Amino acid sequence: MTLNPMDLTGHSILVSGASSGMGRETSILLSRLGATLVLVARRADALAETERLLEGSGHRSVPYDLTATDGIPAWMKALAAESGPLSGLVHSAGIQLTRPLRVLTQAHLDDVMRINLGAAVALVKGFRQKGVVSDKGRSVVLVASIMGLVGQPGIGAYAASKGALIALCRSLALELAPERIRLNCVCPGHVHTEMAQRLRETLTPEQFAAIEAMHPLGIGTALDVAYAVAFLLADTSRWITGTTLVVDGGYTAQ
């Protein structure tokens, strides 16, 4: 029998932002590792497409608008009552738009912070509830960004939200350690996703070439990030909490 230390058979994992990009690729990989997925995003049609790509059975697509942060814990309680407790949580949903300071508005800042940070707080709060979190796994992965670690012009709101997510992870990891719940962040560099493509469309070819050149190993893929998420969900990271795993092709090594 071949040992797979990243086997997730018997684990039920909720993935937000599962309708596209890193959330979709992560969901597919987790299903191949044996996990049962609860797929969450706003668009039911896109979630259904993700579900069709999964291996195994028992997966659920649950459309939900994560901007309704106050209702998330009760919603998760109801989910667990219907389909059983969760052993893992991945918050991959997020907003990324270029907004230079001269056109940055309070409304845009509020929107970015609500989904990138506020939804993360509510999801973790919901996850740790009795009857929601299972007796095994107990791992949360927050998808941040290297923009929470380094600066780049024009994305101050996004960078602030991801930097706050990293700080949140450290504090909540300590707070929830007595409950044997682990929290970690993954910080991707620039990867090929639908969101990244929308950002690319706002840049000149020269600007994008400069971004690409800052990744010594080249632009990454969503699967590169998914592997890191899976590692942090599985027992391979059972002694890791409150950390930030950078997956950036060498961007921050410079």
Check residue 120 and give its pLDDT.
Answer: 97
Q: What is the mean pLDDT of residues 178-199?
A: 87
**Among residues 64, 158, 227, 251, which one is catalytic?**
158
Domains contained in the chain, CATH given: 12-248 (3.40.50.720)
| Average pLDDT value over all residues in the chain | 93
In this predicted model, what pLDDT tens digit does every residue of 92-105 receive, in sequence order?
998 887 788 898 89
Running DSSP on this structure, what letter comes out for residue 87? S
Q: In terms of DSSP H, where are the helices of 88-183?
A: 106-113, 119-127, 156-176
Does the structure show a pLDDT above 90 at 194? no
Check residue 155 and give its pLDDT.
Answer: 87
13 phi/psi in degrees, rounded to 5: -130, 130
CA 77 to CA 133: how far, in whole Å?
Answer: 10
Q: What is the mean pLDDT of residues 134-159?
A: 92
In this predicted model, what pLDDT tens digit does every residue of 21-60 receive, in sequence order?
999 999 999 999 999 999 999 999 999 999 999 999 999 9
251 has catalytic annotation: no
Does the structure show a pLDDT above 70 at 195? no
